[in-house]
Every structure is written in C-alpha cells, then in structure tokens.
Structure 1
Amino acid sequence: MTIATPPRPWMDAELEMLRDSARRFFETECVPRQKAWAAQKHMDRSMWNRAGELGLLCAGIPEAYGGAGGSFLHEAVICEEQMRALVTSFSINVHSGIVAHYLLDYGTEEQKLRWLPAMATGDVVAAIAMTEPGAGTDLQRIKTTAVRQGDHYVINGAKTFITNGLHADLICVAVKTDPNAGARGVSLVIIETCDLPGFRRGTLLDKIGQQAQDTVELFFDDMRVPAENLLGTEEGRGFAQLMQQLPRERLLLAVGSAATMQRAVDDTLAYVRERQIFGASLMSLQNTRFKLAECQTHATIARTFVDDCIARLARDELDVPTAAMAKWWISQTTCQVIDECLQLHGGYGYMSDYPIARMYTDARVGRIYGGANEVMKEIIARAMDR
C-alpha cells in the first residue's frame, strides 16, 4: 500500500488528457534517446517539431497566435511530466514558458504574428540570453551593448550558459541601450539567428549535469538587428519586463523541481523494496523507513506549496517574494531529498545508469539558474524589512 496523494485542486479532464499525451511523448520518444543525446550534448532538432505536433509547445499562448489556447496550468502539466521523466535535453520552459510570454505580453501585433506561430510548431526554437561571463543574476551589470544606427541596432558583446542555444532560431537578448542608465538602460531585442552576420555560437559547454541539453556561449560582433525587433515600443523597458515575468518563471522552476523530488522518492521506494540486506528487504530497516518518511513529507509539502502558488498565479496574486520562496526552498529541498535517496541506493546510486544518479547531477543547477538561491533569500528579506 502506498500513501494516497490528494487530487490536484486545479486538475480537470482536459489537463489529464494533456498529461497522458505529454507522458507518452517524454517516456517513449525521449527517454530512450537520452543516452545518445548526452553523448552528443544536444538532442535531435526534429524533436522540437515532434513536440509541436503534439501540442506541447506554446500551450499557454492564444490560438490566434498559433498556440493551444491554454493557460499556465497547461504549461505546468507539461513541465511536471518532462521533469518526472527526467528529460532535461531541451527546455520547453524557456521556449514556451518564458520567451513566448515575453512576446505575448510585450511584443507588437506584428511581432506576435511573425514569431509565435512558428514557435508553436517547433519550426522556430527560442532561447533567452541574459547571463554574461561577468554578470549573472545582477542584470544591471551586463555589458552587451545595442547602439541605434538608423533602422538597426548594432550589438556587441557575449552571453553564456544559454539553454537551447545550439538550436535557437530566435533569441531574446538583454542589452544595454544606455550604458549609463543602470537598470533603466536595459532593453530586450529579438534576434533571428539564421544567416545573421556578426552572430556566432561557441562550442557546446561541458556540464556535470543535464548533459543532453544544448548549452552554449553566444558572441555578437557588430551584429546588425532591425530596430523593429526591439521588444516593446521604447528602449529601457527591459529590466521592468524581466521583473514582471519572474514570478511566473520561478514558479515553473519550482513545479519541475517538485516533480523531480517525487520521482526520486518513488524510484527509491521501489528499489528498497526489492533490495535484500541481512536476509530481508532494505525497506524493513527502520532507518530506511524513517528516511523515506522524511523524504515523502518534503515532497508532499513541496507539491502543496506549488499548488498554492499556481492558485495564486491564476488569481494574479503571486508576488515576487512568494515565488522566490518556492524557487529556493523547493530546489534546495529537492537536492537534499535526492541525496538521501541516492544513499539508500548504496553503490548503485553512484552509477550513471541509475536514474537517481542523473537526478543528483541534473537537479543541482536548480539552485543556481533562474536567480541563485542566495538572491532569492535576499528578495524575501527585503520584502520583510519594508
């Protein structure tokens, strides 16, 4: 007998159908290819189109722009199933949950019609480029510049750790349009990478985890981009645009972490029931039972917190500090739970063929990207100190 998990308060029949479709795709079409994709450090480009065929891209974008016409709930279901399957080889979150919504919320009508339908089919892959070699979470420090020259911006600089970077056809780039204006000098410019002079991708980065995901550096050398590709109608709005989207983006990270945490517990429970030690199952030992009880408690709390945040987002009430709490605590706790679960696997937990070993390395970046957890705590503390 296992613990009965309460029904998700936001689930309905349509979302259950989407969950089934997403689960089949990730488990049958992606999981068997993960090892090959890890060896080449990227997945096959054709899988983006396959995800588009199944309606897994831009699920929360209106049908008028080629999307599925759903909401954040649809994106959350897809995210949960992708992370439950441990498919970290491409980021639907970045493509659909971040870039698509930047275009939807801030783009002109022409920009939306031009790019969103192709993103929904997977014909165009999207990435976002904020982090630089000398600037991570503190975006006011970015040095990539965009200088207006007639009908174009001339962009110079470099970005690093760019998810979906190898396949990206469309990249939302954070630039300084006014280097002396601090946060008010940041703008977002959309670049189309195909045959773009001055645009260059670096080699695929060698990571300790998520090895099948294409992550690269990007270089811009006098790269000319049409001024009409500015996101929004005026310069200097980029920092505000980024801040407005952060609660949603960080909740997606929390959703994925919580799903991975539960997968770790489920896998470990199955393992300790079968593993024999001293003439009995490993599950019969009190230490094992107590450790798993603790892990399941953490996973249940994480899931409950995520569900509450989703409900707040649906009511347009999810604030920045609460999203920061969800992001840091769930990503941190996921790492702790996975560590405990790996220990219960013994030596096999250290073998890369076992999913728990991949979870151990894949989950670690969750405490870094989307804003380092230390920054999340600072955000929370500032809100407390007002």
Structure 2
Amino acid sequence: MSDYLATGALPDEYQQLAKTVADFAKTVVAPVAAEHDANHTFPYEVVAGMADMGLFGLPFPEEYGGMGGDYFALCLALEELGKVDQSVAITLEAGVSLGAMPIYRFGNEAQKEEWLPQLTSGKSLAAFGLTEPGAGSDAGGTKTTAKFDSGEWIINGNKQFITNSGTDITKLVTVTAVTGVKDGGKKEISTILVPTTTPGFTAEPAYNKVGWNASDTHPLTFADVRVPEENLLGERGRGYANFLRILDEGRIAISALSVGAAQGCVDESIKYAKEREAFGRPIGHNQAIAFKIARMEARAHVARTAYYDAAALMLSGKPFKKQASIAKLISSEAAMDNARDATQIHGGYGFMNEYAVARHYRDSKILEIGEGTTEVQLMLIAREAGL
C-alpha cells in the first residue's frame, strides 16, 4: 500500500475491495439512507449485508473468523461507505476499531476465541465505553469504578455517547474503570469486558442527535455490575494507555470516513452543477461554482493522502501518532467545509433532508469532535513536534 504514495496506484486487491464496497454503498445503502435517517432507525438489513461481505472481519486473521486483511482495507471500505451514509460507516468503524480491536490487541487467547469470531462475523457488535459525563477529552477524569471482591469485579458508574451500545445485536461493552490508586495518587485505570446481559448493565434511551441519526448511540449505566476476574482486558492499570493506542488507530479510520464524506459532497455537487440550470446554462459553467468545487476536490485529495500516509506508517510498524492526528484534523475539517460548500451549491435543495448533502452537513460536525476533538489533535501535533 505504501507504494501508492510514490506511484499513485493502489494494488489490485485494494482497488477491487473499494469497488465492491462502492457498489454495495450505491445499490444497498443509498436507497434506504434517507428513510433510516428520517426515522432514526438502525439499519439492521444494511449491517447484515456488510456482515455477509466480511467487512467486520477485514483487518483480523482468519483464525478468528476474519478476512486476513489489514487496517488500510478497513479504511478503504469506510471511505466508500462514508460517501453515501456516515451512519452506516461509523457503525462499521466503531464495530471494528473500537469494538473488536481492543480484544484483538490486548485480550488473552481465551478472550479472543470467545469474542472475536462473533464480532468479526458482524453477527454481534461490541462497544467502547470510555467517555463519561465529566470525562471526554480528559479521559483521565474517569469516575466509573471497578472494585475487586471475591473473584469478581463490581462496576459502578456511567458512560455517555457510546456507539453501537444498545442494538439488538450488541453483546459486549469494553469499559474503562478506576481499579485502584497508583503510587503518587494517580488513578489506576483498567479495562473490563462487560457482556450486555449482565445484571445491573443498562443502555439508557438513545440520544436525539443532530446527525448520524441511523447510528446507535446511548448513555450507559452500571449499577453493581458483577463480572468474573478473567474479564479484565489486558494488564491491570494499563487500560488508559491501551485505549490511547486504540484511539490513535481509530483516528486513521475516522479520517478515512471523513474523506469519504468530503468526496461524497464533491460528487453530489458535480452532478448537481451539471444538471441545475440558471440564467440559461448549467450552474457549473459559472466560475464561482466551478472554483468552489475545485477547492472541495483539493481538500478531499489532501485529506486522503494524509490518511494513506498515516496508515502506511502504522502498517510498517513505525511511529504514526502525529500523522494520525494530522490526518484526523485535516480530513474532519475537509468534510465539514465541503458539506457547507455543497449545501451552498445546492441552494434551497441543499437544505432539504432528503438530499445527501443535507445529511452530510448535519453528520460532518461530529467528525471534528468524536475520537479526539480538533483542539486535542492540535495539542497532540504540537506535542509530537516538541512543543
């Protein structure tokens, strides 16, 4: 994949994957996107289709039910889905990079064998329980607790804005919780696997959101939730550090989704500019419109190059934290800027929810917030630059 940056051509297997997902997005996702968005319904039939295609198993080994691909393959799929429906794309992104990936990265063999085949098949979903009412960008402010007693973890606390946490196929939530105090008084934060059928676990009513209306998002409550000792994921006290690694990877995936959104706005605007006539000719013949679309295309291209670069570093085993933050910063802003410009190009029609650009306008804002805000990315980039 890294050869792309030098040659401009993706290997055949990546090109074929992108084409297959693009066809699926056009024929299966697009026809129902507006309805699910309007009704705030989870697209179970679309998710089932993605599961049948093996998309939830893309970056995982075949021994765990995966497709034997890599993280870049996931990113290509997210980009194609993001062009059409961000809700569907974030369902896949969260299901893989936030749901299954922590178990693959940090789980023991028993945990992998129990959970990964379910998750890589797409028949079940897992969620990533990090954010709390008082701990968003400052994840170290975690207040949820897990006390160890008689061979069990007893969990109490709340999480919020958790994707894929309340669907009919959600089977697991990985939770960050304070499990003690380290030397110096700092919180010891660990990660614990909580099956959704565990007594005391509640997915509260879904949020009424500005966008991503077909994505499942809930606050969660843990009231004396008891799980066995072996549900500890990874080393005790390493939960925060491990989740930071997951977020670094996830930022590349969110960048890919954002690029898809940015490119989708370009594609819709080009189509509209060729069809819509004003003053006797297509509006695309007007330099003001043509130049606006040209800038939109440039934003999408630069953002795509950024996430390709970050993914190449990650897959080669090189440091990629700064590049992931750069990609996330550039691509999320490109998505929001392109959504605004696309809405303007469409005029009154761009303000109608049945148009894809209207959904992108509502959906894209969260891309500048979720998995690390714009301000957090700037902080991380500055820190990596030595400031």
Same-fold call, TM cutoff 0.5: yes
More deviation, 32-41/147-156: 32-41
In the alignment, which of 214, 223, 226 is matched to residue 221 of structure 1? 223
**CA separation in 2, counterparts of 1:8 and 1:127?**
38
Q: Matched residues in 2 for 1:267 and 1:112: separation?
A: 42
| 1:264-275 mapped onto 2 (5 Å cutoff) | 264-275=265-276
Letter in 2 for 1:189: I
3-state DSSP class of the match of 2:311? helix
Cα deviation for residue 138 of structure 1 reads: 0.8
Q: Judge conservation of contact 1:341–1:356 (CA < 8 Å) in 2.
A: yes
Letter of the aligned partner of 2:247 in structure 1?
L
Aligned pair partner of 1:187 in 187, 190, 204: 190
Are 1:92 and 2:95 matched, yes or no?
no
Which residue in 1 is equivalent to 2:209? 207
Give the drift of 1:10. Answer: 6.8
Does structure 1 conserve the Cα–Cα contact (< 8 Å) formed by 2:99 and 2:174?
A: yes
CA RMSD of aligned residues (A): 2.1
Name segments (4+ residues, structure 1) moved above 3 Å: 5-10, 44-50, 179-184
The answer for the alignment partner of 2:165 in structure 1 is 165
In structure 1, the residue matched to 2:29 is: 30
SS of the aligned residue for 2:59 comes to coil
- 3-state SS, counterpart of residue 377 of structure 1: helix
Q: Percent identity?
A: 32
SS in 2 for 1:177: strand
Tell me: CA distance 1:42–1:151, structure 2 relative to 1, closer, same or farther (3 Å).
farther
TM superposition shift of 1:37: 2.5
CA offset digits 1:188-244 (Å, max 9, x no partner): 1111112x1101111110001011111111100001011101101x31010110122
What CA deviation, in whole Å up to 9, does each residue of 1:319-341 have, x standing for no partner?
22221111112101221122112
- Say which is worse superposed, 74-83 or 108-117, in terms of deviation: 74-83
Q: Give the residue type in structure 1 aligned to 2:117.
A: P
> 1:55–1:285: structure 2 CA closer, same or farther, 3 Å change rule?
same
- Tell me how far 1:383 sits from its aligned partner: 2.3
Partner in structure 2 of residue 306 of structure 1: 307
> Which secondary structure does the structure 1 equivalent of 2:209 belong to?
coil
Cα distance in 1 for partners of 2:240, 2:253 equals: 20
Give the unaligned 5+ runs of structure 1. none
Give the whole-Å Cα distance in 2 for the aligned partners of 1:123 and 1:217.
23
d(CA) in 1 for partners of 2:264 and 2:139? 34
For 2:191, the aligned partner's letter is L
Q: What TM-score does the superposition give when structure 2 sets the normalisation length?
A: 0.92
* Alignment partner, residue 348 of structure 1: 349
State the 1:285 CA deviation. 1.4
Describe how 1:1-386 pairs up with structure 2 within 5 A: 9=8, 11-45=10-44, 47-89=46-88, 91-167=91-167, 168-178=170-180, 185-194=188-197, 196-232=198-234, 234-386=235-387
Gaps of 5+ in 2: none
Give the partner amino acid of 2:77. I
Of stretches 367-376 and 243-252 in structure 1, the one that deviates more from structure 2 is: 243-252
TM-score (structure 1 length as normaliser): 0.93
Separation in 2, partners of 1:208, 1:68: 34
Tell me the distance in 2 between the aligned counterparts of 1:87 and 1:385. 35
Distance (whole Å) between structure 2 residues aligned to residue 283 and residue 6 of structure 1: 31
Question: Are the aligned partners of 1:37 and 1:212 in contact in 2 as well (CA < 8 Å)?
Answer: yes
- Of residues 176-185 and 97-106 in structure 1, the stretch that sits farther from structure 2 once superposed is 176-185
Distance 1:269 1:6 in 2: 26
39 and 14 in structure 1: CA distance in 2 versus 1, 3 angstrom threshold: same
CA shift digits 1:76-104 (9 cap, x unpaired) = 12111211222414511111123322111
Distance in structure 2 (CA, Å) of the matches to 1:224 and 1:252 = 33
What CA distance in whole angstroms lies between the structure 2 residues aligned with 1:56 and 1:119?
11
Larger deviation: 256-265 or 243-252?
243-252
In 1, Cα distance between the equivalents of 2:352 and 2:315? 41
How far apart are 1:27 and its partner, in Å? 2.8
